[in-house]
Structure 1
């Protein structure tokens, strides 16, 4: 993993276009090919990013770029979609590379992990005719708890919590933003599933088009009769 703090501009081109004007930012280039652009705010959500599979290259500068003060130009291109993230660097403040090794993955607590297992086995609780694609579907920024498809074959990303709060909705939102850039998955809808969902989290989820699913843990274990409520 390469961590760079630099004064830069960032441009995303492809199915959408976005521009970040010149400022000091943290650039994270991972071994999987992804590039994430962070500011010193906004918590852990990147300002922009390119997910794998991607190709990183340092472009040769032309005279106009040099005159503008650019000292390096990076481009990360998605292998499938052709979308590109270009970073023009004007000044380096720090540049370090680390070998992190293999990561064992996120260890969930027992109830949350069991909820995931149960919902995967009872996926029609999410939607009639739904089918499981896989559990722990990996993205460039972490694993989505469950990836499923509805009866029409459209993708559903499901995030599972014991207690549904705003942080969980934000986490699912980031996954959806990333997954909807993948033409093999898009369009992807989201389901936020939990034993209890806080009112603020429900409001935020519904505002973003994310469905909320309340899970009855005992019923799913077969200890009680009943079904979850889908809002």
Structure 2
């Protein structure tokens, strides 16, 4: 049974999420603030964290950073913050997905299921594709290690999924639809903006000149391509 930790200080919303999740056979714990969330995460070891950013004792971004020190648990942010800058900050800190309030329960459940799958999913990569070296960076897919300029680069689980899919198809176009289906579990067009955010983050971490990428190439209107 998938264990979910709901972190939010709105009692009515928490109650609604807990009821709906338990009806769908999730095991659910909740925490009203960041401190309680970090304590619960260490104690119950959830499979997924649903996290609000506006917590009473600390910012949710700091909760993400604290979790990422020792855990790769998938994190789905559920927040009233709608700005792209807030979304980028959360993704940069290590969140795997971002859902803005108010939201419909069906979308929350779909996002949660997709994030939970990514937490346990593996990508089949041939041995000769397991390590990719370019002039700027080195990627060890099987070991989940990325290095650039002699320094280790930390990528989130979702970023690894996107990067692995591109590496697996190196030199060939990977459509937006395929990336959305394989990484998020569905191909709804509204997810394209989130995919662009992840690609931008990968470029900032790996490319020497993110505004003129040499390896993570966008094919306008179609998808993306990895050039070694």
TM-score, shorter chain, exceeding 0.5 = no
What TM-score comes out, normalization by structure 1 length?
A: 0.29
Higher helix share: 2
Compare the two structures and name the one with the higher strand fraction: 1
